[in-house]
């Protein structure tokens, strides 16, 4: 359902067509202030992920659970993860610039990093999936009507397996920012979607990697649905010259920690053995 869907209820449709970035930024700031004040007062635990109820992201209004998550001890199946192998993916799938009949337009980059669990142990041989817009900010998706060009040499889909030390590596094109319909003149910062499996099912994660210094960060309700600034920083890759290749591509490093479902962080208690 879109905010422009005539079937959408008023609380979703609202004045989406006229809401400005200023309106949205004010809402975002208020929610961040509440978290900051709560942290300063000592009563609010550190958040390590997004809040589910984040109204500035309008699509969340009718889609976020209103009841608290219920604690359950993980069962055997949840303490294990699906297993993927070399036979599940093709050898070229980690290079998004290949196999489409020519060189895609844009800034060729390498994105690489390590996937580890909450104890810092490498997540080995596990599936990593990515998808993204092209250099012009256009997705190969029929519902993306942004009037930017399709690149006939780029689909923006890749897959790979982590190696024995948890490393993944993709070659791709730096995606462009793109407009969306959350409010008037809404733009997403450039990002690459990542889908990740850990060593157990509770670590299953889908997220987005961003590029350093993006001027759209402060304006984006999706990125800002993570209220903790340090947690937001963890989604931003770093430029890494050691991943940059002479006369070929620039490199970005982004490491990933998969440590289960707990959204809030509490310092481990001292004194336990």
For residue 11, report the phi and psi dihedrals to the nearest 5 degrees: -70, -15
Distance CA 49, CA 191 (A): 17
Residue 49 Cβ vs other proteins, minimum distance, rounded to whole Å = 4
The interface with other proteins within residues 109-168 (CB under 8 A) comprises 113-114, 116-124, 129-131, 139-144, 150, 152-153, 155-157, 159, 165
Distance CA 16, CA 184 (A): 7
Query: Residue 194, exposed/middle/buried by CB under 10 A (0-12, 13-18, 19+)?
Result: buried
Q: For residue 146, indicate whether it is catalytic.
A: no
Residue 69 Cβ vs other proteins, minimum distance, rounded to whole Å = 4
Q: For residue 193, indicate whether it is catalytic.
A: yes
Distance CA 231, CA 268 (A): 18
23 is an interface residue for other proteins by CB under 8 A: no
Among the residue ranges 15-23, 29-37, 168-176, 234-242, the one whose residues contact other proteins (CB under 8 A): 234-242
Catalytic residue among 31, 138, 139, 210: 139
Distance CA 164, CA 269 (A): 32
103 is an interface residue for other proteins by CB under 8 A: no
Residue 41 Cβ vs other proteins, minimum distance, rounded to whole Å = 21
Q: For residue 178, indicate whether it is catalytic.
A: yes
Q: Which is nearer to other proteins, 48 or 250 (CB)?
A: 48
- What do you get for the CA distance between the two ends of the chain, in Å? 51
List, by residue number, the catalytic residues.
Answer: 139, 178, 188, 191, 193
């Amino acid at each position: 359902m879109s905010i422009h869907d005539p079937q959408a209820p008023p609380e979703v449709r609202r004045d989406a067509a006229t809401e400005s970035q200023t309106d949205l930024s004010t809402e975002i700031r208020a929610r961040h202030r509440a978290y900051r004040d709560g942290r300063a007062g000592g009563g609010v635990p550190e958040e390590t992920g997004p809040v589910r109820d984040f109204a500035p992201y309008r699509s969340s209004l009718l889609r976020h659970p209103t009841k608290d998550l219920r604690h359950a001890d993980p069962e055997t199946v949840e303490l294990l993860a699906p297993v993927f192998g070399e036979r599940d993916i093709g050898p070229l799938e980690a290079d998004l610039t290949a196999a489409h009949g020519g060189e895609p337009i844009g800034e060729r980059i390498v994105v690489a990093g390590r996937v580890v669990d909450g104890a810092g142990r490498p997540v080995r041989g596990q599936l990593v999936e990515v998808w993204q817009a092209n250099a012009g900010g256009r997705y190969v998706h029929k519902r993306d009507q942004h009037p930017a060009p399709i690149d006939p040499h780029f689909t923006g889909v890749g897959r790979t397996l982590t190696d024995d030390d948890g490393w993944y590596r993709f070659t791709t094109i730096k995606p462009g920012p793109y407009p969306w319909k959350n409010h008037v003149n809404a733009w997403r910062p450039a990002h690459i979607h990542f889908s990740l499996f850990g060593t157990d099912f509770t670590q299953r994660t889908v997220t987005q990697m961003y590029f350093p210094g993006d001027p759209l960060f402060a304006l984006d309700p999706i990125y800002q649905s993570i209220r903790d600034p340090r947690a937001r920083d963890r989604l931003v890759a770093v430029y890494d010259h050691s991943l940059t290749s002479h006369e070929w591509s620039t490199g970005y490093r982004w490491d990933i920690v998969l440590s289960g479902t707990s959204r809030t962080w509490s310092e481990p208690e001292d004194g336990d053995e």
